[in-house]
Structure 1
Amino acid sequence: MANPDLNLLRALDALLATGSVTEAAARLGLSVSAMSRNLTRLRKVTGDPLLVRAGSRLVPSPRAVALSAEVPALLAGVESALARDEHGLELKTLSRTFSLRANEGFIHRFAAPLLQRMLSAAPQTRLKLAAKRVKDGTPLREGAADLEIGVLGEFAPEILTRRLFDDEFIAAARPGHALLDAPVTPERFANCLHVVASRRGQTTGPVDEALARLGLVRKVVAVVPGFPDAMEIARRSDVIAQIPRSVLSPDLVGTDLPVSVPGISVSAMWHPRFDVDPEQKWFREMVFETVLKSTGEPS
């Protein structure tokens, strides 16, 4: 048979078990005529009569007798292979490396509590973290990353997503910075020195556009690839860092920007081929629970 029909295997199993077209049809919920057609097809496929009439009943051919010992096991194997996996995870013995792509700010804030949560439940798991330099669905498509965290944009259309939390940009400064001595006005803010975090090396953005509408220009003295780098400069100098509120380090002081800029929504992204995989689902839940507990977002 060039294109095997698994329904024929079920029909053959019922016919061999009952030795009756009528009883086999009843067992599978088919009409007698439909089962007769199945028997005709089976005879053609096997090149054997399989069941032949002997008076008022059907008796198996030698080939049918041989098949009766094989078909049930074949059918059970097929059903087992195609059955939904209902087995629970054995977390204590789960040994697997899970990979997560995210920006440095997310890694800085959430990596440690996420790893602690994972190891508490599944002590043999490992976490592989990779900084996300550009928006690219290839790592998820190819399985190089299990999960990606970031701001949605133009992305692979098939990717599945879940919103984690909303965020906003703030100004971060070292304790005692002169900017914090009085209300932060656009003019006072623009007169400070600034560090910008940009994966693409850009020196301007929405903050600069908002300041420009007021006739103001800020002085950007440094561009770094990630928010932790920007905070390190702010921590050790009089330079102001523009960062998401969610990544603010406790040894810095955060203050609202004196101009209005769009907020961001942080989401988790994964490929649909791993959507129902039990281990992947567990890992995603570990990430979701860690983030939601830390941010206070509703689950």
Structure 2
Amino acid sequence: MKHVDLNLLTALDVLLSECSVTRAAHRLNLSPSAMSRTLSRLRIATGDQLLVLAGRTLVPTPYAEQLGEHVHELARNARAILQPAHRSLDIATLERTFTIRANDGFVELLGASLMATVTQTAPQIRIHFVSKPDKDAQPLREGMIDLEVGVLGTTAPELRTRLLFRDRFVGICRSGHPFLKQVTAKHYASYQHVVVSRKRQLSGPVDDALGLLGLRRTIAMVVPTYANAMQIARYTDLLGLVPHSCVGRDLLGDHAGSAGIQRFELPVRTPEIKVAAIWHPRLHADPAHRWLRDTIFAICKNTVP
């Protein structure tokens, strides 16, 4: 459409509606001479006179009559497309499935709260959680998932992010474990450990911190999820390492040990964990997607310890 001026479509629609250059000019806030020049351009573009004199009035040619309703519909649709989108949303009646990629810890921590909110405010929305084996941005780019929840660190520059909460690593062990009598770095390194890894990567921030002290821990078992690590630590003498948010409120304070497992602050410092929502820019202005993001943010703010 190298030489097509779509403004002519609106002008043609008004001219065919009014059958008057003067009235068409008034509707489009143009001078009669400018409207007359536009009619000349339309005649050249279509190869038809479109409007011709019949006495002192203009009447449409057979071709113009044929175009009439079709042009009006095209002009209306063009205006609708080329204007800011209408962003009203009735979340109570919206039927949609959102696919969220997140690790098991997030699902266990907030999945039930998210479902309770959805059931109450948007009962026809479905939430589909899928596993998070890596930080690959392609599923977001290709629309295979709507939202990702995970540690900040994506290398895709176009992705949008919003910090949900800050977390940190804590140690876990069975209730009454002898390690709890002496929580030191040296004592910590002397025990065997269970670690969580999906890529067979056995070292992490805690190992770096131990290394600065000339210490090294022994890894006896590798499991794929934090839930697995907590179960192993509950029934063995292995020490585990999980995000604080995974431990749950019921294991904090006076209730520590009530589920057969106890958390402890690590005897070394590890970097803070920043958990964020991540999405593709094409969904940024979508009102339903914005509702999902805001809902998850609110749940994290009110739930994460």
8 Å CA contact 2:101, 2:132 repeated in 1: yes
What amino acid does structure 2 have at the position aligned with 1:215? G
- The AA in structure 1 aligned to 2:100 is L
Tell me the distance in 1 between the aligned counterparts of 2:91 and 2:196: 42
Q: Contact 1:201/1:225 (CA < 8 Å) preserved in 2?
A: no
Cα drift, residue 33 of structure 1:
4.5
8 Å contact from structure 2 (residues 97, 125) kept in 1: yes
How many residues align? The count is: 294
RMSD (Å), alpha carbons:
2.3
Q: Any idea what the Cα deviations from partners look like across 1:237-258, whole Å, max 9, x if unmatched?
A: 1211111111114333222111
1:104 to 2:104 alignment:
yes
Per-residue Cα deviation, 1:253-283 (whole angstroms, up to 9, x for no partner): 2221111111111110111112222322222
- Per-residue deviation at 1:78? 3.5
Q: In terms of mean alpha carbon deviation, does 279-288 or 228-237 score higher?
A: 279-288
Report the equivalent of 1:229. 228
Cα–Cα, structure 1 residues 33 and 227, in superposed 2: closer, same or farther, change >3 Å?
farther
Does residue 258 of structure 1 match 2:267? yes
Instruction: Tell me the residue number matched to 1:85.
Output: 86
Aligned residue for 1:64, secondary structure, equals helix
Q: Counterpart of 1:292?
A: 301
| Aligned amino acid, residue 203 of structure 1 | L
User: Partners of 2:3 and 2:106 in 1: how far apart?
Assistant: 51
Q: Residue 213 of structure 2 corresponds to which residue in structure 1?
A: 214
AA in 1 matched with 2:285: V
Deviates more, 1:31-40 or 1:107-116: 31-40
Q: Give me the identity figure in percent.
A: 46
Instruction: Give distance in 2, aligned partners of 1:130 and 1:3.
Output: 48
Q: TM-score, normalised by structure 2?
A: 0.87
What amino acid is the match of 2:222?
A: V
2:123 is equivalent to residue 123 of structure 1: yes
Structure 2: runs of 5+ lacking an equivalent? 252-258
Q: Which moved more, 1:110-119 or 1:134-143?
A: 110-119
Displacement, 1:138?
0.9
Q: Corresponding residue for 2:74? A: 74
Per mean C-alpha deviation after superposition, the further-off stretch among 169-178 and 11-20 is 11-20
Q: Deviations over 1:156-196 (max 9, x none)?
A: 221111111111111112221122234x2111211222111
Correspondence 1:19-38 to 2 at 5 A:
19-38=19-38
The amino acid across from 1:110 in the alignment is L
Give the AA of the match of 2:118: M
Misfit runs of 4+, over 6 Å: none
Aligned counterpart, 2:16:
16
Q: TM-score, normalised by structure 1?
A: 0.89
User: In the aligned structure 2, how far is the partner of 1:217 from the partner of 1:70?
Assistant: 77
Which residue is 1:190 aligned to?
Answer: 189
CA distance in 2 between counterparts of 1:130 and 1:51 reads 61
